[in-house]
Structure 1
Amino acid sequence: MTPWRVPFPKFGVGPGLERCALVARELGFDLGEFGQSAAVIVGSNGKGSTAAMSASVLGETSQSVGLFTSPHLFALNERFRIGDDDISDDELADHWNRVSCAIETCGVAETIGGFEFLFLIAASWFKTRECAFTIWEAGIGGRLDPVKLISASNLALTALDFEHTELLGDTLADIALEKIAASPRGARLFVSERAAPADSNVRDAIHAFCLEQSIHVEFVSPSTSAPPLFGEHQSGNVALASKLARALAHMSEEQVAAGLAKTHWPGRLEVLSREPLVVIDVGHTPDGVSVALDGFRELSGARDRVLVCGVSHDKDVAAIVDRLAPSFDDIVCVSPAHKGAPAAQIAVHAQRANPRAEITLAESVADARTIALAKTKSGAIYVAGGLFLAAEFKAVHLGRDPGALVFF
């Protein structure tokens, strides 16, 4: 596939909805037209998994389902999917050019953000292909996220964590309100109990907001069915996905179960090999890392464990390493080529969090993989700390050049 390079900075000159709405009108459609057959997923963790499961379940209706998610592991095309297929290079080029021309015509090339650009490509493609349903994963927030323009009839809030606090607020209640503000008046909002436990101030804040905005809110307990993706935390996402799909289409229990079973979502406790067990995870917030680690413990059982740890320099390095390091006696620290914090910095935090651990610094992700494999022949290797480490490690594992990966 073509190594697409987004020609705009990720967030442009800052959050805002006017640019996207203006460009969509230039493209000849109103984004709100998606609303009645659309679902939007907001949250700090679990958005992509919930979106993928929702789309997979709706696929059992035999109607076309568009799915827009972020980020991607290997190719930008992964962010845009209809049914089981990512957008082709030819179709991506077509809609890339359409949206680029509309941006120039509207005079917002100097202000629009890369995420807005990709969102508009998804909207243009889904509109052209006349998708019966569309599923949209929000970016950072909700109130000023492009997905708000969808005016989705159904939304879900997955899990919350302290992230982008300079934009979203300093408390979980503030963050929750920023995210659920993607909801239009009269919408239906499904909230994971993991995001808003009973008797919490987060739940109280959500209740008050929904009452004011005439939004029907339902707090959703984790599913008792076995999730299609590894990790107990996925039970909450299963429950949300099932609710969203059944709110959009009349579906039997058998259809829901069949759709869930077909879900494929790379990078989330993804098993790369069984002997030794090698697992990668893209979690990049402290809470996301913690819940994924629980899933890895379940997968690895009593095996000896080696951690390969690399964190992006713009994340909370100390907090993420603090959640991971105490569970491993062998830790290989590495700086991913894309936005990686220095391996030595990760090592300092790892040693502080787990003084008994043997710490090794790797020169590259390929070197980290070699070191980890040498440390265990029949044990388990866990690759965790962020998206870029997971993607680069998987690339090396598959014999690809991690330096050729293109993100933002």
Structure 2
Amino acid sequence: MNYEQALAYIHGTLKFGSKLGLENIRNLLEYMDNPHKKLRYIHVAGTNGKGSTTAMIASILKQAGYRVGTFISPYIERFTERIRINDEDIPQQRLADITTNVRSIVQKMVEKGYTHPTEFEIVAAIAFQYFYEEKCDYVVLEVGLGGRFDATNVIDTSLVSVITSISMDHMDVLGDTIEKIAFEKSGIIKEKGLVVVYPNQHPDALQVIRRVAEERNAEVTEVDYSDIHIISAETDETIFNFKNHYGLKIHLLGKHQVLNAATAITAIELIKKKYNIRISEKDIKAGLRAARWPGRFEIIGRSPLFVIDGAHNESGVDVLEECLDQYFPGKNITLIAGMLRDKEYSKCIKKIAPKASLFIATCPLSERAAKAEEIGNIAKKYCNRVIIKEDFHEAVKAGLELTKEDDVVCCFGSLYLIGAVRKIFTEVSK
């Protein structure tokens, strides 16, 4: 199997849907001789901020000299971004080789009457096998959806469970209240484990996390917002202090990224102390400074400034609005929006459309995409100037042509959309 064939096989398993539960992935990994049982994990769940926090934890461990695997979902530009070691994607042929092996195991399982694994379960199994073969010291594992029944929760133990910001998203699967969603996320908490919780967590979510942790005799550390002091925030870097860590620098923009960084540092401090892991202050500083997470309030173009952001739920849009106010006060903003129909897009657009001097409605590359016309019609209630461009290439072109050089274009609403838009800019700059 070559890389293209491997991807076709993986994506072809989408027809098996997404099944919450761990039986499938356990059976598959059992047939693969349980590679996941031979690794050490930092497990990260949450509604927003999972990826950024994962990237920062992995970057600090890498700076300390360790071989660090990261498993994330979804990807921005390349499928191989989902499985990385020390910032390097899994090689395409290596992915193909492991996929070939997994496919033959799946065929044997199905012949014996087992349920066919889902796409996410197959990708997770490929990742576990790769990290095991490559002898990773640590793996930072980002939950795909929820936590309790997510395929990543097949792991029996973790060094620490990290729970980032919790808000309303995926309500059709996880539940329609903050408490229900928090319960699903808290599913990653292990018996007698360590738990780190993002600062300023929703009180209802916090109550659930504490209860689940108590039931499992786990130790909860809640990051204290009052320990965080932002010194300066520019469009190239943010400088802040956290507890006894002074002059920390991150290139990820927005106050929320400082909170994610504080969460990452707290997780690192806990595992350093409990497991006697060698990590210096210098490693923490260098790791944070080196951490990158594409597509999160990322400036990808100048003149006019072109920003992409993965905001696709209400809390994400709140943070995006905060960032636009903070970094671009007094600027005219052109918004390019494309969202999936299973998201609460009308609420998101109602929140942010009044900020736009021009609103361009478009369509992400996904079968689940909401029609550009639907997005545009909602935006017309809150913005005087709305254009509908079904093709995102046309939307980007219009945004650049109709925005003055010293103003700002911001594209948001779906990782499918911003990934495709980012690719346009990276290919042009090559």
Superposition TM-score, scaled by structure 1 size: 0.91
Deviation of the 1:341 alpha carbon: 1.0
The whole-number CA distance in structure 1 between the counterparts of 2:201 and 2:125 is 29
- Name the CA distance, whole Å, in 2 between partners of 1:324 and 1:286: 10
> Paired residue for 1:28?
33
Shift of 1:110: 5.0
Q: Which residue of 2 aligns with 1:55?
A: 58
| 1:168 paired to 2:196 | no
Alignment map for 1:180-195 (pairs within 5 Å): 180-195=186-201
Match of 1:375 in 2: 402
**Correspondence for 1:234:** 257
Superposed displacement of residue 13, structure 1: 5.6
Alignment partner, residue 302 of structure 2? 274
Q: 2:131 aligns with which of 110, 126, 131?
A: 126
Q: Check if 1:286 corresponds to 2:314.
A: yes
Asked if 1 retains the 8 angstrom alpha-carbon contact of 2:182 and 2:205, the reply is yes
Structure 1 CA distance, aligned partners of 2:390 and 2:427?
A: 18
CA distance in 2, matches of 1:387, 1:293: 17
String of CA shifts for 1:260-293, please: whole Å, max 9, x gaps. Answer: 1001111111111121100001121111122123
Aligned residues: 393
CA shift for structure 1 position 84: 2.0
Is structure 2 residue 6 aligned with structure 1 residue 8? no
Matched letter for residue 250 of structure 1 = R
Structure 2 runs not aligned, ≥5 long: 230-239, 241-248, 272-276
- Alignment pair present for 1:244 and 2:244: no
SS at match of 1:240: helix
Task: Report what 2:375 is aligned to.
Answer: 346
Q: Secondary structure at the match of 1:181?
A: helix
> C-alpha separation between the residues in 2 aligned to 1:72 and 1:154?
24
Q: What residue identity is the alignment partner of 1:341?
A: A
Aligned-partner Cα distance in 1 for 2:152–2:402: 45
Per-residue CA deviation, residues 173-195 of structure 1 (Å, 9 max, x unaligned), is 12111111112201111011233
What letter corresponds to residue 105 of structure 1 in structure 2? K
Take 1:10 and 1:213, find their aligned partners in 2: how far apart are those partners? 36
Query: How big is each residue's C-alpha offset from its partner over 1:334-353, in whole Å with a ceiling of 9 and x where there is no partner?
Result: 1223232111100121122x
AA paired with 1:394?
R
- Helix, strand or coil at the partner of 2:354: helix
Q: Structure 1 counterpart of 2:258, which letter?
A: S
Counterpart secondary structure, 1:126 = helix
| Residue 92 of structure 2, aligned match among 66, 89, 99 | 89
2:391 matches 1:364? yes
**Does residue 1:106 correspond to 2:87, yes or no?**
no
Check conservation: 2:141, 2:152, Cα contact below 8 A. Answer: yes
Structure 1 residues 153, 303: CA separation in 2 closer, same or farther (over 3 Å shift)? same
Residues 10 and 77 of structure 1: CA distance in aligned 2, closer, same or farther (over 3 Å): farther
Q: Distance in 2 between matches of 1:349 and 1:298?
A: 26
1:156–1:190 Cα contact (<8 Å) kept: yes
Aligned partners of 2:409, 2:72: CA distance in 1, in Å? 28
Q: d(CA) in 1 for partners of 2:131 and 2:363?
A: 37
For 1:345, the aligned partner's letter is: E
Equivalent residue for 1:159, pick from 162, 165, 190? 165
**Paired amino acid for 2:201:** A
CA apart distance, 1:54: 0.6
Which structure is richer in relative contact order (CA contacts within 8 A, separation 6 or more)? 1
Structure 1 unaligned spans of 5+: 401-408
Please give the secondary structure, in 1, of the residue aligned with 2:340. Answer: coil
Whichever residue aligns with residue 317 of structure 1, its letter is Y
Deviation at residue 78 of structure 1 after TM alignment: 0.5
Match status 1:302 vs 2:330:
yes
Residue in 2 that maps onto 1:388: 416
Shift of 1:79: 0.3
Contact 2:250-2:291 within 8 A present in 1 as well: no
Q: What is the deviation of 1:86?
A: 0.5
- Between 181-190 and 218-227, the greater mean CA deviation after superposition: 218-227
Q: Residue deviations 1:78-107, cap 9 Å, x none?
A: 001000211011111111112222222222
Query: Which residue, 251, 276, 285 being the options, matches 1:257?
Result: 285
User: Which is further off, 88-97 or 292-301?
Assistant: 292-301
From the superposition, tell whether residues 161 and 78 of structure 1 become closer, same or farther in structure 2 (CA, over 3 Å).
same
1:55 and 1:385 map into 2 onto residues whose CA distance is: 26
Letter in 2 for 1:40: H
**Residue 183 of structure 2 is aligned with which of 172, 177, 180?**
177
CA contact (8 A) 1:277 1:300 kept: no
Aligned-pair identity (%): 27
Change beyond 3 A, Cα 1:155–1:88: same
2:47 corresponds to: 44
